[in-house]
Amino acid sequence: MRKKVPGVLALLMILALTMACGKKYEEITPEGSPGSHETVSSEDENPVLYIRQSEGENYEQAQSSSRETVVVGETALSMEDRDETVYVTGSDVNGRASATTSSQVMAVFQKGQKLHRTGYDDTWSKVDYNGTACYIASRYLSVTEPRTDAMETASGSGETAGDGSGIAFDSSWKYGEFSKINSGQAILYKAPGDNRKGITVCVNAGHGTKGGSNVKTLCHPDGTPKVTGGTTGAGATSAVAVSGGMTFSDGTPESKVTLAMAKKLKGKLLAAGYDVLMIREGDDVQLDNIARTVIANNKADCHIALHWDSTTNNKGAFYMSVPNVSSYRAMEPVKSNWEKHNALGECLVAGLREAEVKIFSSGSMEMDLTQTSYSTVPSIDIELGDKASDHSDAALDKLADGLLAGVNQYFGK
């Protein structure tokens, strides 16, 4: 009997080691991935996923997302029913089609964005996104609104944002359902002191939406085709959500110049007593042209989009007027607002003339734009020059003076 003891002890030791190893790893089969599985170390705070491509192949190591370190294999979770408003607390947080990190990303949400939560458990939350169920890691949602980075600093520019507050897109707003890119937010600033006028000017730095050229939206809310050319030709029913813009003769991207111009104008408007709704304060904002317009419709008294034309002869400034086409002017919301759009454009050009800015021709050019096709407040695209125009700091300052004079003229101030 004594000769069998070492063998028994060896067997017991092997069993103990096997049980210990079995406790260290948990095997999970992701939904919709037959024949593959992931192994996650339960002792690692930042788990690494080992994904087997198919039977008989080696494991491939893949680092998990910094925002999603929990893998869930089922969407049929036991969630508590919720009916509450929540806010995104992280940046670039994925919203997925089901409660698993292997499912399709439906949207990417930004810090401070408001959502409606309908289901909750410790790992995942179910939210409503444009009428569709979407799943977000619960750790990145809170019932308390966070202070956004944009409120602290003007998108890394080093400028203090003062009392700026984030304005998220609301898909329930009129025409909101036509927007395709709307996870970003605008920033609303209130004029300081006793000279506040109670008028909000939306300043829209043209372009500056990554991926905007790869998405298309309807040109008109009623689905009718464009009546003029432009970036998108006449007869088209859809246009790029946000174009990339042109490049100045010296190699500077238009989006950089429109942003610098917007910041100049913001400062002058605030000093003059106007509240300012800034659509974009960094290189990228995830708001398409419809989202920008709908936010302005609901949060501003007028909407000024800043652009430079793609010609190369330094032709001067002008505004895009509403085309004199009966079918277009009969379409809502154009029908109820086109005269206000053109009146704002005329005032802006008059202000630029007053500042001795070069003006192109009569100061206007007819153009069927997505912006004015969805606007319910006075709204204009102002082209401040072209590729060959001076866009130095002094030139932008002069343009800002002219635009402020135009805003004063329009509001009778």
What is the rounded CA–CA span in Å between residue 259 and residue 350?
23
pLDDT of residue 156: 36
Q: Tell me: do 138 and 154 sit in the same domain.
A: no
Contact 58, 110 (CB under 8 A): no
Q: Is 88 helix (H, G, I), strand (E, B) or coil?
A: strand
The answer to whether residue 34 sits within a structural domain is no
pLDDT of residue 11: 54
Percent pLDDT > 70 in the chain is: 77
Decide if pLDDT at 68 tops 90.
no
Contacts of 142 (CB under 8 A, 6+ apart): 86, 87, 89
Condensed to tens digits (0 to 9), the pLDDT of residues 276-287 reads 999 999 999 999
DSSP code for 160:
B
Task: Calculate mean pLDDT across residues 296-323.
Answer: 98
Q: Tell me: do 294 and 376 sit in the same domain.
A: yes
Is the pTM for the entire model greater than 0.85?
no
Of 216, 207, 283, 212, nearest in space to 246 by CA: 207
Q: Tell me: do 155 and 123 sit in the same domain.
A: no
Higher pLDDT, 47 or 104: 104
Q: Phi and psi at residue 62, in whole multiples of 5°?
A: -140, 130
Last residue of a domain, one of 123, 142, 161: 142
Higher pLDDT, 19 or 315: 315
Last residue of a domain, one of 117, 142, 167: 142
Q: Tell me: do 217 and 251 sit in the same domain.
A: yes
What is the rounded CA–CA span in Å between residue 108 and residue 96?
9
* pLDDT grade for 223, boundaries at 50, 70 and 90: very high
Q: Tell me: do 175 and 190 sit in the same domain.
A: yes
Containing 383, the helix (H) or strand (E) segment is: strand 379-383
- How far is the CA of 362 from the CAs of 82, 175, 346, 350, 359, in angstroms? 58, 33, 10, 11, 8
Q: Is 75 helix (H, G, I), strand (E, B) or coil?
A: coil
Containing 10, the helix (H) or strand (E) segment is: helix 5-24
Task: Calculate mean pLDDT across residues 386-398.
Answer: 97
Q: Tell me: do 132 and 268 sit in the same domain.
A: no
What is the rounded CA–CA span in Å between residue 160 and residue 154?
6
Contact 184, 293 (CB under 8 A): no
What is the rounded CA–CA span in Å between residue 200 and residue 300?
5
Q: Tell me: do 340 and 202 sit in the same domain.
A: yes
The answer to whether residue 73 sits within a structural domain is no
Higher pLDDT, 187 or 65: 187
pLDDT of residue 305: 98
DSSP code for 46:
S
CATH code for the domain in which residue 232 is found: 3.40.630.40
Q: For residue 333, say if its preceding peptide bond is cis, omega within 30 degrees of 0.
A: yes
Condensed to tens digits (0 to 9), the pLDDT of residues 111-126 reads 888 899 999 998 999 9
* pLDDT grade for 146, boundaries at 50, 70 and 90: confident
Q: Tell me: do 344 and 241 sit in the same domain.
A: yes
Q: Which domain holds residue 97?
A: 80-142
Decide if pLDDT at 209 tops 90.
yes
CA 339 and chain centroid, separation: 29
Strand intervals (E) in 190-241:
200-205, 216-218, 238-240
Containing 404, the helix (H) or strand (E) segment is: helix 393-410
Contacts of 282 (CB under 8 A, 6+ apart): 150, 154, 155, 156, 157, 208, 259
H runs (alpha helix) in 211-367: 254-271, 289-299, 326-329, 334-354
Show the tokens assigned to 15.
């069993």
Decide if pLDDT at 296 tops 80.
yes
Show the tokens assigned to 213.
């050229």
Higher pLDDT, 247 or 45: 247
Q: Chain-wide mean pLDDT for the chain?
A: 83
The answer to whether residue 20 sits within a structural domain is no
Percent pLDDT > 90 in the chain is: 65
Q: Tell me: do 331 and 183 sit in the same domain.
A: yes
Q: Phi and psi at residue 189, in whole multiples of 5°?
A: -115, 140
Last residue of a domain, one of 110, 142, 174: 142
CATH code for the domain in which residue 87 is found: 2.30.30.40
Residue type, 377: V
* pLDDT grade for 107, boundaries at 50, 70 and 90: confident
Q: For residue 146, say if its preceding peptide bond is cis, omega within 30 degrees of 0.
A: no
As for how many domains the chain has, the answer is: 2
The answer to whether residue 72 sits within a structural domain is no
The answer to whether residue 41 sits within a structural domain is no
pLDDT of residue 329: 98
Decide if pLDDT at 207 tops 60.
yes
The answer to whether residue 259 sits within a structural domain is yes
Decide if pLDDT at 341 tops 80.
yes
What is the rounded CA–CA span in Å between residue 295 and residue 175?
10
Show the tokens assigned to 363.
């100061």
Condensed to tens digits (0 to 9), the pLDDT of residues 250-264 reads 999 999 999 999 999
The answer to whether residue 275 sits within a structural domain is yes
pLDDT of residue 7: 55
Task: Calculate mean pLDDT across residues 343-364.
Answer: 98
Residue type, 209: T
Residue pointed to by tokens 């260290």? 24
The answer to whether residue 55 sits within a structural domain is no
Q: Tell me: do 128 and 175 sit in the same domain.
A: no
What is the rounded CA–CA span in Å between residue 245 and residue 204?
14
Q: Tell me: do 305 and 370 sit in the same domain.
A: yes
Condensed to tens digits (0 to 9), the pLDDT of residues 15-36 reads 554 444 444 333 333 333 333 3
pLDDT of residue 12: 54
What is the rounded CA–CA span in Å between residue 62 and residue 49?
5
- How far is the CA of 132 from the CAs of 54, 99, 128, in angstroms? 33, 14, 6
Q: Tell me: do 210 and 120 sit in the same domain.
A: no
Contact 340, 237 (CB under 8 A): no
Contact 274, 407 (CB under 8 A): yes
pLDDT of residue 152: 44
pLDDT of residue 3: 47
pLDDT of residue 28: 38
pLDDT of residue 215: 95
